[in-house]
Amino acid sequence: MKRQITLIVVILSLCMLFILQLSKNSSAVVTGDCEACHGLYPGMMEEAEPGKPPQYVLKNVLCVNCHSNADRDTIKILGGAKVPVVYNTVKPVKPLAGGNFHYVARDFGDRRGHNVEAVTSMDTRFKGVPPGYDRLADPSIIGYNQEKPLKCAGSNGCHGNRNVEDPFDSIMGAHHADDSAIDGSTTARSYRFLKNTNKVKGVVGLEDDEWNQNRTSKKHNEYSASIDLLCASCHGNFHSKNKTGKESPWFRHPTGVVLPKSGEYTNYNPDVPPPSDRPDIRIYSPDAPVGREKVPKSPGDEVRPGKDIVICLSCHVAHGSSYESILRWDYDALIAGEKSKGGCFICHTGKGE
């Protein structure tokens, strides 16, 4: 068995070398010591039956294990590759763009993250049902199965092709594929492997090479409204225009709307005024990011009222945060008036009216 695996790895290495030769310029392709990943994690490369793809036995647990860390660092090195860490067992320093599952995994409570299988048990409040789920807004042919846990990928998850139930099958090949162009055409070429489904184009965006670990107004991921469609596949009612806004409870905040070029919004991020040679723009705040109409080629430090868009991720992070409802800030302190800076006030500046 062991020898067969070694042989398979050797043969695959040769194939990979050939493929890698063809895609030399791409940066995020996983290369390096095959064994470090495929040997360390049992089940990563089980022997394949002739003509069939290799079987992974550990499934979702494996995504979580490899993307976890026992210490505080949120990027770890494995087999020469940088692994983005989304779950630190101790409090993370510099959580990545999606936040960190640390906050939902322990005693902090269900409300601080997506209760993903292998990180924590089912959410006691929502009982595994995505709040605001609308089957019609979910493009997956399988749909979300409320009897089963939320996973990293697949039809009950966010990453990969949601037409495929199994988390690994849904991202198969993505880690080793050329992802130098993020156009939403394949899983690898979708922003952070967020493919949606075959019918719906994957999420597009600009990927910071450190997954936002060292984000500033000048260096950060860039989002587009396409990421809202991903959220909407499980939370349709939070996205649909007739269920948000004035008629509904306020927290179904308008999303996909342009930051108006009038009133308080012209003062976005009041703490950081624009330089005098660019008086018409506002400075990007990584604490309340906006989406772009068109994904830029490099990150921009400008926010333009009248153009840039409010997205789900303006207020939420995707994985977990230290605040309830996976928010970027402490909403309770904001509404209680304890704080009059940051959070909602980055956009609702209350000035300029």
The residues in 33-92 that bind ligand HEC, with binding defined as CB under 6 A, are 33-34, 36-38, 41, 54, 62-63, 66-67, 78-79, 81-84
| Contact region with ligand HEC (CB under 6 A), list: 215-223, 235-243, 270-278, 292-300 | 235-243
Residue in 203, 204, 231 with CA at minimum distance from that of residue 137: 231
Q: What is the CA radius of gyration of the chain?
A: 21
Residue 314 near ligand HEC by CB under 6 A:
yes
Residue 283 near ligand HEC by CB under 6 A:
no
Q: How far is CA 241 from CA 90, 91, 228, 236, 305, in A?
A: 40, 38, 13, 10, 21
Q: Can you tell me whether residue 159 is helix, strand or coil?
A: strand
- For ligand HEC, the binding residues in 294-313 under the rule CB under 6 A are 310, 312
**Counting every residue, how long is the chain?**
353
| Contact region with ligand HEC (CB under 6 A), list: 29-37, 87-95, 269-277, 294-302 | 29-37
Measured in whole angstroms, the distance separating CA 128 from the mean position of its chain's CA atoms is 19
Distance CA 20, CA 37 (A): 17
- For ligand HEC, the binding residues in 117-176 under the rule CB under 6 A are 123, 126, 128, 130-132, 144, 150, 152-153, 156-159, 167-168, 171-176
Q: Which is nearer to ligand HEC, 5 or 257 (CB)?
A: 257
Q: Which is nearer to ligand HEC, 32 or 286 (CB)?
A: 32
C-alpha angle 78/51/197, rounded to 5°? Answer: 65
> In this structure, is the dihedral angle defined by the CA atoms of residues 174, 178, 179 and 182, taken in order, positive or negative?
negative
Per CB under 6 A, the list member of 105, 118, 259, 283 interacting with ligand HEC is 259
Place of tokens 């860390």: 69
Residue 185 near ligand HEC by CB under 6 A:
no
Q: Which is nearer to ligand HEC, 52 or 276 (CB)?
A: 52
Distance CA 34, CA 302 (A): 41
Q: Which is nearer to ligand HEC, 276 or 320 (CB)?
A: 320
